[in-house]
Each structure stands twice: as structure tokens, then as C-alpha cells.
Amino acid sequence: MKNLIKLGFAALLSVSSMTAKAQNTDNGKDNSLLWEVSGKGLTKPSYITGTFHILCSKDFEIKPKVLKALEKSDNFVMEINYTDPAEMMSMQKMFQADKKISDQLSPEEAKELNTILANYGTDLKSVDTSSPQALYALLSTKAIPCPKTEIKFYEMELLQKAIKDRKNIKGLEKVDDQMKAINKAYDLKTTITQLKMDKEYQILFSQMIEAFKNENVQSLYSLFKDERFMNSQQEKAMLTDRNQNWVKIMPEIMQKEGSFFAVGGSHLMGDNGIIPLLKAKGYTVKPVSGL
């Protein structure tokens, strides 16, 4: 799989997922990105960690408690199973479109987009056969405050350790599921509007990274209130619907074996976040300060 595709996809899901409208957590003192799930007949606890899919090396750290939780678990579960060859093949195809971008725009709109793309070091001719999601990934990769050679993929680092420790690797959804969600959330015109806000995204990204590093979920989620980046329809497609689908799958995985789930940090909280949804099912879910 080409590095650009991996980078663009991870960054796309980081920014689009992590810019959801803020919701209140159950407890203002729940300042952790690692949570333990127990009760309701589970023989072993499972863990959920909120991730920031893509970070610069200087900002990257996997906290010891996260590594310990992974070590104690039998399964390592990501949003997508990156060890599945079929999924990787789907990922390579997802940025290509059947219809050219230029065929979907008026001459004036095409000219404007070409001007916008100059800020990203490319032009319409070079990306004309790409999907709107590929364009959105351009925005996301530009927001990352370091060269591509200094980038770390959070889930990939965890995955390497899980493979080394012979964990069972699983996924909560397929690439095609994610693409359906993204297609619902971001059409071509919406993506072009977002591309105009490259500087705003860079500022937002830096603030989110700092909050993530400090596990400051209150600060992190207060950054998501700006509806310039995600409206209610996009939030439903990117977060709510996917969270509800995942919580249908998670109990069976946890019931069989202790499991470690790694998902984008924005999926944890809110009225339809994974944590309150699991609590509503009767599980005990509590923040972990250390193991």
C-alpha cells in the first residue's frame, strides 16, 4: 500500500472524526483516554483507548498504562483490521473515482479549485481522477505540523506490538463501511469548502494534539464545537452511526476474551459515544489512571 494513501486515509479520519461537535462527559474528572470495561458477566476486563491516528514524532507517545492494558488483553481490535489483505486492497482503491472532478464542476468552479489546490502543492489536472475523500486527505496532511518523514501512525505502533505479542487482530468495521460513512458526510462541494480553511485546520490540529497529549478530554472536546468543520449530518455519519454499530459488535468480542480496542478519540464521549452506549448496556466503564 502506498504511503501517501495510508497517510491520507489516517489523516482524513483523524481530522474528520476528531472535529465532531462537543458533548458533555458523564463526569468532568474523567480525564483519561484509556477506559476499563467490566461487569455484565465478563470473565476478564477489556480496555478502550482513544487514539490520535497520526502524529509527528516529537508529539508521539504511547503511555505505559496503554501498553500494559494491551499486554493484559487477548485481542487487539482496531477500527479496521490492517492485517487483512482484502481490506488493504479496498483501501488502495478508495481514493479513485469513476467520474472526473472537472466533469462535476462548472468552468468557474474548476478554476477556483485549481487555485485552491496550488496551496497544497498540486493542481486539478493531477487530482482529476481522485475522489472527494482524496481531496479531503490533502487538507488533513497539510494540517500535520511536520514533514511526512517524521510521522507516526498511532494504531500502527500498537499493531506492531500486538503482532509481536501474538495477539488476535480484529476490526470493528470494513474499509467499505468507512467509505460509505465518509461519502455520506463529505461530497465534492463540501470538500472544496473545507479545502479553503487550510489555516483553520492547522490551528485546530495543533490544539487537538496538545489536548490529546495531556489526556485532557474536556479541553479536547471543547475544540470540537466549531461547526465549520462538521455539521450534525456529518457527525451522524462519521460518529453516531458507526459508534452504534461498533457497540453491537464489541460485547461478543469481550465476552469471549479480554480485548483491547483502539479507536479515534472522538468516538468515546457524547450522548452516542462508545462509553455511554456501553454503560447503557449494563457494563461498568471507568477511566484508568494507571495499571
The arithmetic mean of pLDDT across residues 83-112, rounded, is 87
Rounded mean pLDDT of 22-32? 54
Contact 153, 62 (CB under 8 A): no
Q: Are 224 and 266 in contact (CB under 8 A)?
A: yes
Contacts (Cβ under 8 Å, ≥6 apart) of 256: none
pLDDT for res 132:
79
Query: Sign of torsion, CA 279 44 243 274?
Result: positive
In the numeric block, the cell 479513485 is attached to 96
State mean pLDDT over 56-73.
95
Q: Which of 168, 159, 1, 161 is nearest to 86 (CA)?
A: 1
Identify whether 116 is part of a domain.
no
How high does pLDDT run on average in the chain? 85
pLDDT per residue as tens digits for the range 118-156: 988 899 999 999 887 788 788 777 888 888 889 899 999
Question: Are the C-beta atoms of 77 and 172 separated by less than 8 Å?
Answer: yes
Sheet (strand 46-51) strand order: 168-171, 75-78, 259-264, 46-51, 34-38, 284-287
Secondary structure string (H, E, C) spanning 65-109: HHHHHHHHCCEEEECCCCCCHHHHHHHHHCCECCCCCHHHCCHHH
Instruction: Report yes or no on 122 lying in a domain.
Output: no
Between the alpha carbon of residue 196 and those of residues 83, 95, 138, 199, 223, the distances in Å are 35, 20, 12, 8, 19
pLDDT at 6 over 70: no
Residue 102 domain-assigned (yes or no): no
Q: Does any domain span residue 181?
A: yes
Least confidently predicted of 8-22, 36-50, 233-247: 8-22
Is residue 106 assigned to a domain? no
Chain position carrying cell 455519519:
237
Nearest CA among 182, 184, 189 for reference residue 113: 189
pLDDT digits (tens, 9 = 90+) for 197-222: 888 888 888 888 888 898 877 666 66
Stretch 186-207: mean pLDDT: 87
- In this prediction, residues 92-99 reach a mean pLDDT of 76
Alpha carbons 212 and 33: distance in angstroms, whole number: 8
Q: What is the pLDDT of residue 281?
A: 96
Residue 185 belongs to a domain: yes
Helix, strand, or coil here: 182?
Answer: helix
Q: Would the pTM of this model clear 0.85, i.e. be above it?
A: yes
Lowest-pLDDT range, 48-52, 154-158, 178-182? Answer: 178-182
Query: Which percentage of the chain shows pLDDT scores above 90?
Result: 47
Residue 112 lies in a domain: no
Can you tell me the mean pLDDT for 20-35? 60
Looking at residue 225, what is its pLDDT? 52
Contact criterion met (CB below 8 Å) for 146 and 14: no
pLDDT of res. 2: 44
Whether 125 is covered by a domain: the verdict is no
- Parent domain of 19: 3-96+131-287
Please give the tally of structural domains in the chain. Answer: 1
> Residue 276 has what pLDDT?
93
Whether 223 shows a pLDDT value over 80: the answer reads: no
State percent of the chain over pLDDT 70.
Answer: 86
Which of 17, 31, 41, 14 has the alpha carbon at shortest distance from 273?
17
Contact by Cβ (8 Å): 248, 280: no
